[in-house]
Structure 1
Amino acid sequence: MREVDLEAFAAGLAAGAFVIDVREPDEYVAGHVPGVHSAPLSALGAVLDGLPADRPVYVICASGNRSLRAAEQLATYGVDAASVAGGTAGWARTGRPLVSGPSASAPGHTGA
Protein backbone atom coordinates (compact mmCIF):
# COMPACT_ATOMS: atom_id res chain seq x y z
CA MET A 1 0.00 0.00 0.00
CA ARG A 2 1.38 3.35 -1.04
CA GLU A 3 1.00 6.36 1.23
CA VAL A 4 2.29 9.89 0.64
CA ASP A 5 2.92 12.64 3.15
CA LEU A 6 1.34 16.08 2.93
CA GLU A 7 4.40 17.64 1.30
CA ALA A 8 4.43 15.10 -1.53
CA PHE A 9 0.67 15.46 -1.89
CA ALA A 10 0.93 19.28 -2.06
CA ALA A 11 3.57 18.99 -4.79
CA GLY A 12 1.43 16.52 -6.74
CA LEU A 13 -1.66 18.69 -6.36
CA ALA A 14 0.26 21.75 -7.60
CA ALA A 15 1.35 19.70 -10.62
CA GLY A 16 -2.27 18.82 -11.47
CA ALA A 17 -2.66 15.43 -9.76
CA PHE A 18 -6.04 13.71 -9.83
CA VAL A 19 -7.46 13.50 -6.30
CA ILE A 20 -10.57 11.93 -4.83
CA ASP A 21 -11.98 12.66 -1.37
CA VAL A 22 -13.62 9.53 0.03
CA ARG A 23 -15.42 11.21 2.92
CA GLU A 24 -19.20 11.34 2.95
CA PRO A 25 -20.86 14.19 0.98
CA ASP A 26 -21.69 16.27 4.06
CA GLU A 27 -18.06 16.14 5.19
CA TYR A 28 -16.83 17.10 1.72
CA VAL A 29 -19.23 20.05 1.45
CA ALA A 30 -18.22 21.30 4.91
CA GLY A 31 -14.60 21.71 3.79
CA HIS A 32 -12.26 20.03 1.31
CA VAL A 33 -8.93 20.56 -0.41
CA PRO A 34 -9.48 22.79 -3.47
CA GLY A 35 -9.78 20.89 -6.74
CA VAL A 36 -10.45 17.42 -5.35
CA HIS A 37 -13.37 15.27 -6.50
CA SER A 38 -15.94 13.81 -4.14
CA ALA A 39 -16.09 10.00 -4.31
CA PRO A 40 -17.48 8.61 -1.03
CA LEU A 41 -15.97 5.34 0.13
CA SER A 42 -19.48 3.92 0.38
CA ALA A 43 -19.91 4.39 -3.40
CA LEU A 44 -16.33 3.97 -4.60
CA GLY A 45 -17.19 1.30 -7.15
CA ALA A 46 -19.50 3.71 -8.95
CA VAL A 47 -16.62 6.06 -9.86
CA LEU A 48 -14.08 3.54 -11.14
CA ASP A 49 -14.79 4.34 -14.81
CA GLY A 50 -14.12 8.03 -14.17
CA LEU A 51 -10.65 7.54 -12.72
CA PRO A 52 -7.62 8.12 -14.94
CA ALA A 53 -5.76 4.99 -15.99
CA ASP A 54 -2.64 6.83 -17.14
CA ARG A 55 -1.56 8.53 -13.91
CA PRO A 56 -1.69 8.11 -10.13
CA VAL A 57 -4.81 8.89 -8.15
CA TYR A 58 -4.38 10.47 -4.73
CA VAL A 59 -6.99 9.47 -2.16
CA ILE A 60 -7.78 11.72 0.80
CA CYS A 61 -10.22 11.54 3.72
CA ALA A 62 -10.40 13.21 7.13
CA SER A 63 -7.29 11.67 8.72
CA GLY A 64 -5.94 8.94 6.46
CA ASN A 65 -7.83 5.85 7.62
CA ARG A 66 -10.59 5.69 5.01
CA SER A 67 -8.19 6.77 2.28
CA LEU A 68 -5.91 3.83 3.12
CA ARG A 69 -8.83 1.43 2.73
CA ALA A 70 -9.95 3.13 -0.48
CA ALA A 71 -6.46 3.13 -2.01
CA GLU A 72 -6.12 -0.55 -1.16
CA GLN A 73 -9.48 -1.28 -2.78
CA LEU A 74 -8.60 0.76 -5.87
CA ALA A 75 -5.30 -1.10 -6.20
CA THR A 76 -7.24 -4.37 -6.50
CA TYR A 77 -8.86 -2.84 -9.61
CA GLY A 78 -5.49 -1.88 -11.06
CA VAL A 79 -5.62 1.81 -10.15
CA ASP A 80 -2.30 3.41 -9.17
CA ALA A 81 -3.66 4.89 -5.93
CA ALA A 82 -1.87 6.56 -3.03
CA SER A 83 -3.39 7.49 0.32
CA VAL A 84 -2.66 10.94 1.74
CA ALA A 85 -1.31 10.56 5.29
CA GLY A 86 -2.89 13.03 7.69
CA GLY A 87 -5.84 13.68 5.39
CA THR A 88 -7.86 16.86 5.18
CA ALA A 89 -7.36 17.56 8.89
CA GLY A 90 -3.59 17.46 8.48
CA TRP A 91 -3.83 19.65 5.39
CA ALA A 92 -5.78 22.27 7.38
CA ARG A 93 -3.44 22.03 10.40
CA THR A 94 -0.53 23.06 8.18
CA GLY A 95 -2.38 26.26 7.25
CA ARG A 96 -3.30 25.16 3.74
CA PRO A 97 -6.67 26.28 2.37
CA LEU A 98 -9.97 24.42 2.41
CA VAL A 99 -13.05 25.34 0.42
CA SER A 100 -16.65 24.55 1.24
CA GLY A 101 -19.56 23.60 -0.95
CA PRO A 102 -19.89 21.12 -3.81
CA SER A 103 -17.13 22.67 -5.94
CA ALA A 104 -15.92 19.54 -7.75
CA SER A 105 -18.10 16.80 -9.17
CA ALA A 106 -17.59 13.10 -8.76
CA PRO A 107 -15.22 11.48 -11.26
CA GLY A 108 -17.05 10.58 -14.45
CA HIS A 109 -19.97 12.86 -13.58
CA THR A 110 -20.70 15.26 -16.41
CA GLY A 111 -23.66 17.19 -15.01
CA ALA A 112 -23.74 19.90 -12.38
Structure 2
Amino acid sequence: MSEFKRIPPEQAQALREQGAVVVDIRDPQTYAALHIAGSTHLDNHSISEFIRNADLDAPLVVVCYHGNSSQNAAAYLTSQGFSDVYSMDGGFELWRTTYPAETAEGSAE
Protein backbone atom coordinates (compact mmCIF):
# COMPACT_ATOMS: atom_id res chain seq x y z
CA MET A 1 0.00 0.00 0.00
CA SER A 2 1.31 3.43 -0.88
CA GLU A 3 1.45 6.31 1.54
CA PHE A 4 0.56 9.93 0.97
CA LYS A 5 3.23 12.59 0.58
CA ARG A 6 3.39 16.03 2.22
CA ILE A 7 4.07 18.84 -0.24
CA PRO A 8 4.36 22.65 -0.20
CA PRO A 9 1.89 24.87 -2.12
CA GLU A 10 4.39 25.29 -4.97
CA GLN A 11 4.40 21.55 -5.65
CA ALA A 12 0.62 21.41 -5.25
CA GLN A 13 0.30 24.16 -7.87
CA ALA A 14 2.58 22.24 -10.26
CA LEU A 15 0.47 19.09 -9.80
CA ARG A 16 -2.72 21.13 -10.25
CA GLU A 17 -1.38 22.52 -13.54
CA GLN A 18 -0.76 18.92 -14.65
CA GLY A 19 -4.38 17.98 -13.94
CA ALA A 20 -4.27 16.72 -10.35
CA VAL A 21 -7.59 16.68 -8.49
CA VAL A 22 -7.63 19.12 -5.55
CA VAL A 23 -10.04 18.36 -2.70
CA ASP A 24 -10.81 20.78 0.13
CA ILE A 25 -12.01 19.30 3.42
CA ARG A 26 -12.74 22.56 5.26
CA ASP A 27 -16.30 23.28 6.38
CA PRO A 28 -18.82 24.23 3.63
CA GLN A 29 -19.20 27.86 4.72
CA THR A 30 -15.46 28.49 4.71
CA TYR A 31 -15.09 26.72 1.36
CA ALA A 32 -17.89 28.85 -0.11
CA ALA A 33 -16.22 32.05 1.09
CA LEU A 34 -12.91 31.27 -0.66
CA HIS A 35 -11.16 28.17 -1.99
CA ILE A 36 -8.57 27.02 -4.50
CA ALA A 37 -10.01 27.58 -7.97
CA GLY A 38 -11.23 24.32 -9.46
CA SER A 39 -11.08 22.40 -6.19
CA THR A 40 -13.80 20.01 -5.02
CA HIS A 41 -15.33 20.27 -1.55
CA LEU A 42 -15.34 16.96 0.33
CA ASP A 43 -17.07 16.19 3.60
CA ASN A 44 -18.56 13.17 5.35
CA HIS A 45 -21.66 13.41 3.16
CA SER A 46 -19.91 13.54 -0.23
CA ILE A 47 -16.80 11.40 0.25
CA SER A 48 -18.39 8.02 -0.54
CA GLU A 49 -19.71 9.23 -3.89
CA PHE A 50 -16.39 10.94 -4.63
CA ILE A 51 -14.50 7.68 -4.01
CA ARG A 52 -16.94 5.66 -6.15
CA ASN A 53 -16.56 8.04 -9.11
CA ALA A 54 -12.86 8.89 -8.82
CA ASP A 55 -9.90 7.71 -10.84
CA LEU A 56 -7.90 6.04 -8.06
CA ASP A 57 -4.65 6.49 -9.98
CA ALA A 58 -5.04 10.22 -10.67
CA PRO A 59 -2.93 12.56 -8.50
CA LEU A 60 -5.00 13.85 -5.58
CA VAL A 61 -4.09 16.88 -3.44
CA VAL A 62 -5.89 17.24 -0.09
CA VAL A 63 -6.23 20.73 1.43
CA CYS A 64 -7.52 21.87 4.84
CA TYR A 65 -7.03 25.04 6.90
CA HIS A 66 -3.36 24.72 7.92
CA GLY A 67 -2.17 21.31 6.68
CA ASN A 68 -2.97 19.17 9.71
CA SER A 69 -6.41 17.63 9.09
CA SER A 70 -5.49 17.03 5.46
CA GLN A 71 -2.91 14.48 6.59
CA ASN A 72 -5.60 12.33 8.21
CA ALA A 73 -7.83 12.69 5.15
CA ALA A 74 -4.93 11.84 2.82
CA ALA A 75 -4.17 8.72 4.87
CA TYR A 76 -7.84 7.71 4.69
CA LEU A 77 -8.01 8.23 0.91
CA THR A 78 -4.84 6.19 0.50
CA SER A 79 -6.48 3.40 2.53
CA GLN A 80 -9.47 3.58 0.13
CA GLY A 81 -7.29 2.74 -2.86
CA PHE A 82 -5.97 6.08 -4.13
CA SER A 83 -2.39 5.56 -5.25
CA ASP A 84 -1.03 9.11 -5.67
CA VAL A 85 -2.16 11.23 -2.71
CA TYR A 86 -0.66 14.46 -1.36
CA SER A 87 -1.37 16.56 1.73
CA MET A 88 -0.58 20.23 1.23
CA ASP A 89 1.52 21.67 4.05
CA GLY A 90 0.33 25.07 5.26
CA GLY A 91 -3.19 24.40 4.01
CA PHE A 92 -5.42 26.96 2.35
CA GLU A 93 -4.09 29.73 4.60
CA LEU A 94 -0.62 29.41 3.07
CA TRP A 95 -2.07 28.85 -0.42
CA ARG A 96 -4.05 32.09 -0.41
CA THR A 97 -0.99 34.14 0.49
CA THR A 98 1.18 32.29 -2.05
CA TYR A 99 -1.36 32.21 -4.93
CA PRO A 100 -4.03 34.86 -4.24
CA ALA A 101 -5.07 34.92 -7.90
CA GLU A 102 -5.74 31.15 -7.84
CA THR A 103 -8.72 31.35 -5.49
CA ALA A 104 -12.44 31.44 -6.11
CA GLU A 105 -15.69 32.11 -4.24
CA GLY A 106 -18.84 30.03 -4.35
CA SER A 107 -20.49 27.15 -2.61
CA ALA A 108 -19.78 23.48 -3.11
CA GLU A 109 -21.69 21.79 -5.89
Instruction: Provide TM-score, normalisation by structure 2.
Output: 0.84
* 1:50 shift after superposition: 2.4
What's 1:82 paired with?
Answer: 86
Which is strand-richer, 1 or 2? 2
Q: Report matched runs for 1:1-112 at 5 Å.
A: 1-40=4-43, 42-43=44-45, 44-80=47-83, 81-97=85-101, 98-102=103-107, 105=109
Q: Is the 1:51–1:57 Cα contact (8 Å) retained in structure 2?
A: no
Q: Percent identity?
A: 29
List runs of 5+ in structure 1 lacking aligned partners. 106-112
1:54, distance to aligned residue in structure 2 (A): 2.5
Distance in 1, matches of 2:40 and 2:21, equals: 8
Note the alpha carbon deviations across 1:67-106, whole angstroms, 9 max, x for none.
111001111111132111111100112243321112x63x
Mapped to 1, the partners of 2:89 and 2:52 lie a distance apart of 25
Which SS does the other structure have where 2:104 is aligned?
coil
Distance in 2 between the 1:54 and 1:73 partners? 15
Equivalent residue letter for 2:11? A
Rounded to whole Å, the distance in 1 between the matches of 2:68 and 2:74 is 10
Structure 2: distance between partners of 1:6 and 1:67: 13
